[in-house]
Structure 1
Amino acid sequence: MATEYSVRTRQSAPTRSTVALKAAMAVTGLIMVLFLLVHMYGNLKLFYGQAAFDDYAHHLRTVGEPFLPYAGALWIIRVVLVASVLIHIGAAVALWARSRRATGGRGGWRYESRRARRGVQRSYSSFTMRWGGVTIVLFVVYHLLHLTTDTIHPGGVSSSPYVRTVNGFGVWWVVLSYTAALIAIGFHLRHGFWAAFATLGANTSLRRRRHLNAWAVAVALVITIGFLVPPYVVLFGGIEA
């Protein structure tokens, strides 16, 4: 009996681990979606002028005072986001490696169906998840160096977050790189949002699958378009520093 129990334990452990990794990806992914929505809201304050945008940027550093030190809440958000990103990437890499081992290097091959005669069960969004994720990470590094730490400043140096942002979006190649990154984010969100809720148990019927798919498309479009509107309005002269 002890031997049988140990065998069953060894066989079930990988399954539990895979479920845990997928759940970790789902939860951390949804945390990042929430952050993107809030960040998008902040970006749209460009349309209210320099005072509103700079006040918003300053307010992020004073939230929670006097219970928290200056920028304390912002650092908590940063730590949660960094932890979410690291867990998300770590889980993704672990699942990808496990899939490669299980399928002999043919990770996308599963089973034949009417819509996938070759056995590849993928949409374009799911197909681009891996390299889209790499693109997003590289863009986030550039974005932080530009608009957070002010290490690089393609539009010119300024102590004002508003001026720095508007001047940056006035450079065509900055907007082009921003567009490419947002398209990658959109595809990533399209599949990731659906996969997250499916992992958490929302994909239990045809009706729910349709609703979940519609929500995934809507969230991806809202975030992508919401982030792209300000840079293009700036680029074409609708907002000036």
Structure 2
Amino acid sequence: MATTTRPALVKGSRASRSTIALKMLMAVSGLIFIGFVLTHMYGNLKAFGGHDSFNEYAHHIREFGEPILPHEGALWIIRVALIVSLVVHVACAVALWRRAAKARSVKYVVKKSKASSLSSRTMRWGGITLLVFIVWHLLNFTIGKVNVQGGATDDPYNLMVDSFDVWWLTLLYLVAMVALGMHLHHGVFSAAQTLGLTNNDKARRNAKAAGALLAVVIAGGFSLVPIFVLAGVITK
């Protein structure tokens, strides 16, 4: 009996440990992104200070770390760290999804739990939406610098205003922010749970509250600039 069950137990133990490792990597990479989006949101809100305030911020982040680092050195370190975090986050998510799908050897109808939130049930599709948005966002403002109105692309503030002055671009951006908010709402709690920070009822409530707060602050903060541009409050 022992000779037949032991290999299975060892295999199951290894699978469990690797699943925990994948969740840990997702949690850590997710926290890195939370730090980034908070900083990025702060930079975006510089638009309320006008053209010079916004462009000075964009210029200073390229000089950050000089003269110890070369021009844009710190920025490239951040970019590489974010790319690695993104690859790790997506790869772990795909691996965990495949494991969950493989575990269902028999198809069955899953009754939605009343305890599960909309955010938790839409994590996968929200993640895909954000991934597509990130690609477009980089093409729009960083890599390709696409100005859909045909204007200049060498001025960060003017490019931002020209982009969000187009209603459908602002709409797409706001949809992405809804996806971001929902992803953060459940993701923060999930990360806290993975890191062992939800060991009691009070800790779980705090983790859920932190997720809700970050979702509102970050998604709401990002949404302010495009809304005010489209409303004509922020102009060139």
Interval of TM-score (by shorter of Structure 1 and Structure 2): over 0.9
* 1:142 matched residue in structure 2: 136
The code of the aligned residue for 2:219 comes to T
- Alpha carbons of 1:4 and 1:129: their partners in 2 closer, same or farther (altered >3 Å)? closer
Do the aligned partners of 2:145 and 2:153 also contact (CA within 8 Å) in 1?
no
* 2:39 matched residue in structure 1: 38
Matches within 5 A, 1:145-160: 145-155=139-149, 156-160=151-155
| 1:37 partner SS | helix
* 2:209 matched residue in structure 1: 214
Rounded to whole Å, the distance in 1 between the matches of 2:58 and 2:230 is: 22
Do the aligned partners of 2:170 and 2:227 also contact (CA within 8 Å) in 1?
yes
Matches within 5 A, 1:3-152: 8-104=9-105, 109=110, 122-152=116-146
* 1:165 matched residue in structure 2: 160
TM, length-normalised to structure 1: 0.90
Given the alignment of the two structures, is residue 177 of structure 1 paired with residue 169 of structure 2, yes or no?
Answer: no
Rounded to whole Å, the distance in 2 between the matches of 1:101 and 1:151 is: 42
| 1:154 partner SS | coil
* 1:113 matched residue in structure 2: none
| 1:167 partner SS | helix
* 2:222 matched residue in structure 1: 227
| 1:30 partner SS | helix
| 2:209 partner SS | helix
What is the CA RMSD across the aligned residues, in angstroms?
2.1
Do the aligned partners of 1:108 and 1:122 also contact (CA within 8 Å) in 2?
no
Rounded to whole Å, the distance in 2 between the matches of 1:75 and 1:187 is: 29
The code of the aligned residue for 1:160 comes to D
In the TM superposition, residue 154 of structure 1 has moved relative to its aligned partner by: 1.4
The one-character-per-residue Cα deviations of 1:155-187 (angstroms, maximum 9, x if unpaired) are 322311011101111110110000111001111
- Alpha carbons of 1:103 and 1:4: their partners in 2 closer, same or farther (altered >3 Å)? closer
* 1:187 matched residue in structure 2: 182
* 1:114 matched residue in structure 2: none
The runs of 5 or more residues in structure 2 that have no matched partner are: none
TM, length-normalised to structure 2: 0.92
- Aligned identity (percent) is 44
Rounded to whole Å, the distance in 2 between the matches of 1:217 and 1:108 is: 30
In the TM superposition, residue 107 of structure 1 has moved relative to its aligned partner by: 9.5
The code of the aligned residue for 1:72 comes to G
Rounded to whole Å, the distance in 2 between the matches of 1:70 and 1:142 is: 26
In the TM superposition, residue 102 of structure 1 has moved relative to its aligned partner by: 1.1
Do the aligned partners of 1:108 and 1:121 also contact (CA within 8 Å) in 2?
no
| 2:71 partner SS | coil
The runs of 5 or more residues in structure 1 that have no matched partner are: 110-116
Rounded to whole Å, the distance in 1 between the matches of 2:174 and 2:108 is: 29
Which range is displaced more, 212-221 or 2-11?
2-11
Do the aligned partners of 2:146 and 2:153 also contact (CA within 8 Å) in 1?
no
In the TM superposition, residue 50 of structure 1 has moved relative to its aligned partner by: 1.1
